[in-house]
Structure 1
């Protein structure tokens, strides 16, 4: 349906027949793509809805569109959460976040590990990346991104926690094979370590949680994150 088109984002649904587009999205439609009145565009509300629209009004502040048709996409990844560590190299962290979103992951917890060098949250920046990646991959669910200061806070979340540990006996492939039905119905949190991995104190905190390894080889954090996203995306589709 959307393979050769542009997708824009707006949560400003006036009613079942009109959508208002503001801010950067309106600027892109008006100044970059140079759309005119009666041009056809697609808009997502970030909650599964995709709207086939005609532009009715174009001003310096907003674009108003008439809804022709509405489609709904299920979120196959709603029970999957990726817990991403802040990485020393911010570009690599943003790459992992962006590619995971493009592959379909919609829930993220960013956290500071003991070995984390880069500190603090950048939720505004990360949410912009999320919107861009959602549109790029023609998806209809805006990812939810939260931030935690330490690993202990994540342990308190509901759901099965899966830690990636290079020394674990069980592999991701074995885990998916054994947990095929549960992955589709139960909450799972996949936790990735920063450069250098989790330290011993963190593994003590997670002593009752499952540990798995991705491969025999040691991978960069961003490589591991995107690889797991690709594997899960292939399985859940």
Structure 2
């Protein structure tokens, strides 16, 4: 596997056609206005689907550029079967921090949910998507995480796969969990006030992260670190 370092990574949301890659929007502005790249310069571009392309800028227009593919680096999504179910938090900044750090660690599937004790704020999916996009590029990863929003803990139960509740009073430690690549795992975290007794009773598999109580965002990041190590 090829590990890149010391490079700037850009993202193309356009469909990559044959030998041409198109970039517009914020990344185009950064390449041209900030980094001052010009025709003939080499840059690294990811599709967000497991490829990073070493490319040469061929054409610059008013709002977009075209680059040719020189070399492609392909990567496997090692954690495609891992889903992090994170409740809406009172502080959106803490939720964003958790999304950012988990993306840097390699988590690529997020589910944001409401619970009885969660603070019901408006969804900020567009902003959250920008957070994980930036984190993907910053950490030189090639898989753009997905973010889905659901309305209740009950909806998590309808998803196909093992449901792992992170619960401080569990006798099982998360380090004891053996991940099977052929199974889906949904890791569920509680909000600041915790899940209600009724919500806790919905889950059979429970694991603890630490002897001490952790903030939700700390628990999320710690679990991501353990799983991806």
TM bracket (short chain): over 0.9
5 Å matches for 1:103-122?
A: 103-122=105-124
Instruction: Report the equivalent of 2:70.
Output: 68
Q: Quote how far apart the aligned CAs of 1:196 are.
A: 2.0
CA contact (8 A) 1:78 1:106 kept: yes
Q: Quote how far apart the aligned CAs of 1:32 are.
A: 1.1
Change (3 A) 1:174 1:23: same
Q: Quote how far apart the aligned CAs of 1:14 are.
A: 4.4
The gaps in structure 2 that reach 5 residues or longer are: none
The gaps in structure 1 that reach 5 residues or longer are: none
5 Å matches for 1:35-74?
A: 35-74=37-76
Q: Quote how far apart the aligned CAs of 1:5 are.
A: 0.3
Matched, 1:190 2:187: yes
Distance 1:164 1:60 in 2: 50
5 Å matches for 1:133-148?
A: 133-148=135-150
Distance 1:223 1:107 in 2: 18
Q: Quote how far apart the aligned CAs of 1:66 are.
A: 0.9
CA contact (8 A) 2:7 2:44 kept: yes
Q: Quote how far apart the aligned CAs of 1:117 are.
A: 1.2
Runs of 4+ in 1 over 4 A off after TM superposition: none
Q: Quote how far apart the aligned CAs of 1:57 are.
A: 1.0
Farther-moved stretch of structure 1 (196-205 vs 126-135): 196-205
**CA offsets 1:155-185 (integer angstroms, 9 cap, x no match):** 100000000111111111122xxx24x2x22
Larger helix share, 1 or 2:
1
1:33 aligned residue (26, 32, 35): 35
Matched, 1:200 2:200: no
- Name the SS for the 1:65 alignment partner: strand
Distance 2:188 2:150 in 1: 13
What's the C-alpha RMSD, in Å, of the aligned pairs?
Answer: 1.1
Distance 1:171 1:38 in 2: 53
Instruction: Report the equivalent of 1:11.
Output: 13
- Name the SS for the 2:90 alignment partner: coil
Q: Quote how far apart the aligned CAs of 1:31 are.
A: 0.7
- Name the SS for the 1:63 alignment partner: strand
CA contact (8 A) 2:118 2:193 kept: no
- Name the SS for the 2:128 alignment partner: helix
CA contact (8 A) 1:112 1:119 kept: no
Instruction: Report the equivalent of 2:210.
Output: 215
